């Protein structure tokens, strides 16, 4: 019953996280697009009112006229919408999901004894320290002289995130390392909203309410953090789907793959932001495609040296029964799984043969199964699966 309840909580939290994430990212992308498409006001009256840019658009059968003030209007409207709860709810639901899946189930999804021998409490404490420490380090960097030059700061961020990816992959199993990389970036993004962007907007509103000329400095800082957030977005989205692709997180150089794909995501956003401004160069897209092609080629399965003795199916069946069917059965015996993961059942000869390619991919090529090597599959047993599979291909 416990596993069933956890499964329901997992589904509901994941659904909520997806809904709020779409709302947050959609609003963020829209305002980046809007800022980069604003044109000087055509009406002199608007210019005198302090309007710095405007945009006409059509959507859903209606016309819209968006205007942005250079600093603030002389009189604030009674209703002013704040874009913050989309971000906060995304983070809160994401952290609840992280705690439920990766901390509550640390021995399954976070810890891999072949990477580092950690207790559940130590692994969770390290994970929390990374999430909190990530924001503190980033915030100090933003307040340092390094942030005055965008190009220098971009290089510094690349180095820091590279160290983050490498160290997480040396502490946790690949799946847990990837999701915590995303959790650190996601926390930085929402902390930017809560600690910098919204406070800056509050100062702007308070000054306008008092009839004072607002200080533009908080707005400039908020804009800087907002730009950082847009470049973090696609790497975080990749991490959210990465647990479906063991070829990335299960690879020997999973940290390098994570860095590479994160760079690809940032390059794609660079292209689109430049395109919004009418200054698009295809160079970021070309570099992104080449980098993806390089990663795909580098992690492609390689032919294994031939072995004189092919494994028998009886040997493979024994491995499945002792190492895999605790989870991959019609009625799993492992308490963390009320049903077979991904619906993959390996408790009959026919089912084992039908899943031969997947079994080989997950246990031999990526070595991510058994998850966290919970059932202690040995290298010799992986070789049995390898020899059996390759004999089937001959």
CA 36 to mean position of chain CA atoms: 25
Tokens of 2: 């416990």
Residue with tokens 């809007």: 34
**Measured between alpha carbons, how far apart are the two ends of the chain, in Å?**
46
Tokens of 240: 């959210």
Q: What is the C-alpha to C-alpha distance for residues 107 and 113, in angstroms, rounded to an integer?
A: 9
Tokens of 116: 């580092």
Which residues in 230-254 are b (16+ Cβ under 10 Å) and which e? Answer: bbbbbbbebbbebbeebbbbbbeeb
The per-residue pLDDT for 77 is 82
Closest C-alpha among 180, 141, 187, 179 to residue 160: 141
Residue with tokens 């709860």: 85
The per-residue pLDDT for 53 is 92
Q: What is the C-alpha to C-alpha distance for residues 190 and 91, in angstroms, rounded to an integer?
A: 7
Q: What is the C-alpha to C-alpha distance for residues 263 and 141, in angstroms, rounded to an integer?
A: 20
Q: What is the C-alpha to C-alpha distance for residues 125 and 205, in angstroms, rounded to an integer?
A: 39
Work out the number of other CB atoms within 10 angstroms of the CB of residue 135: 18
Q: What is the C-alpha to C-alpha distance for residues 17 and 22, in angstroms, rounded to an integer?
A: 8
**Full pLDDT tens readout for the chain, 394 residues:** 677 888 889 899 999 999 999 999 999 899 888 888 898 998 888 888 889 899 999 998 899 999 988 877 878 888 888 889 999 999 999 999 999 999 998 988 899 888 999 999 999 999 999 999 999 999 999 999 998 888 999 999 999 999 999 999 999 999 999 999 999 999 999 999 999 999 988 888 888 787 777 777 887 888 889 889 999 999 999 999 998 888 899 898 999 999 999 999 999 999 998 888 877 889 999 999 999 999 999 988 776 565 556 788 889 899 999 899 888 988 888 877 888 888 888 988 899 988 888 899 888 888 888 887 878 888 888 889 988 988 887 6
Contacts of 101 (CB under 8 A, 6+ apart): 10, 109
Q: What is the C-alpha to C-alpha distance for residues 111 and 94, in angstroms, rounded to an integer?
A: 20
Q: In terms of C-beta density within 10 A (0-12 exposed, 13-18 middle, 19 or more buried), how is residue 281 classed?
A: exposed
């Amino acid at each position: 019953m416990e596993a069933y309840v956890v499964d329901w909580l997992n589904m509901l939290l994941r659904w909520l996280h997806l809904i709020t994430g779409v709302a947050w990212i959609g609003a963020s992308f829209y305002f980046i697009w809007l800022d980069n498409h604003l044109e000087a006001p055509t009406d002199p009256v608007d210019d005198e009112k302090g309007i710095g840019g405007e945009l006409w658009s059509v959507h859903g059968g209606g016309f819209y006229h968006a205007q942005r003030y250079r600093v603030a209007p002389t009189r604030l409207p009674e209703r002013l919408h704040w874009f913050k709860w989309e971000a906060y709810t995304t983070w809160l639901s994401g952290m609840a999901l992280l705690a439920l899946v990766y901390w509550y189930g640390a021995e399954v999804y976070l810890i891999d004894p072949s990477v580092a021998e950690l207790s559940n409490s130590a692994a969770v404490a390290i994970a929390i320290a990374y999430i909190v420490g990530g924001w503190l380090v980033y915030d100090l960097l933003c307040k340092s002289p390094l942030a005055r030059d965008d190009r220098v700061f971009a290089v510094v961020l690349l180095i820091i995130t590279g160290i983050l990816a490498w160290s997480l992959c040396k502490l946790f199993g690949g799946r847990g390392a990837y999701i915590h990389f995303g959790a650190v970036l996601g926390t930085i993004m929402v902390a930017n909203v809560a600690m910098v962007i919204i406070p800056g907007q509050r100062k702007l509103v308070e000054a306008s309410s008092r009839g004072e000329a607002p200080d533009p400095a908080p707005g400039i800082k908020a804009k800087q953090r907002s730009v950082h957030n847009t470049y973090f977005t696609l790497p975080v989205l990749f991490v959210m789907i990465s647990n479906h692709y063991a070829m990335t997180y299960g690879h020997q150089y999973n940290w390098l793959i994570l860095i590479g794909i994160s760079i690809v995501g940032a390059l794609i956003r660079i292209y689109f932001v430049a395109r919004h401004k009418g200054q698009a160069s295809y160079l970021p897209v070309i570099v992104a495609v080449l980098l993806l092609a390089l990663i795909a080629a580098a992690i492609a399965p390689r032919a294994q040296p031939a072995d004189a003795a092919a494994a028998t199916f009886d040997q493979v069946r024994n491995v499945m029964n002792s190492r895999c069917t605790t989870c991959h059965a019609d009625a799993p015996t492992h308490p963390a799984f009320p049903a077979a993961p991904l619906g993959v059942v390996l408790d009959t000869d026919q089912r084992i043969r039908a899943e031969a390619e997947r079994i080989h991919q997950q246990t031999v090529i990526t070595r991510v199964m058994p998850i966290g090597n919970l059932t202690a599959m040995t290298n010799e047993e992986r070789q049995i699966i390898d020899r059996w599979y390759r004999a089937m291909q001959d």
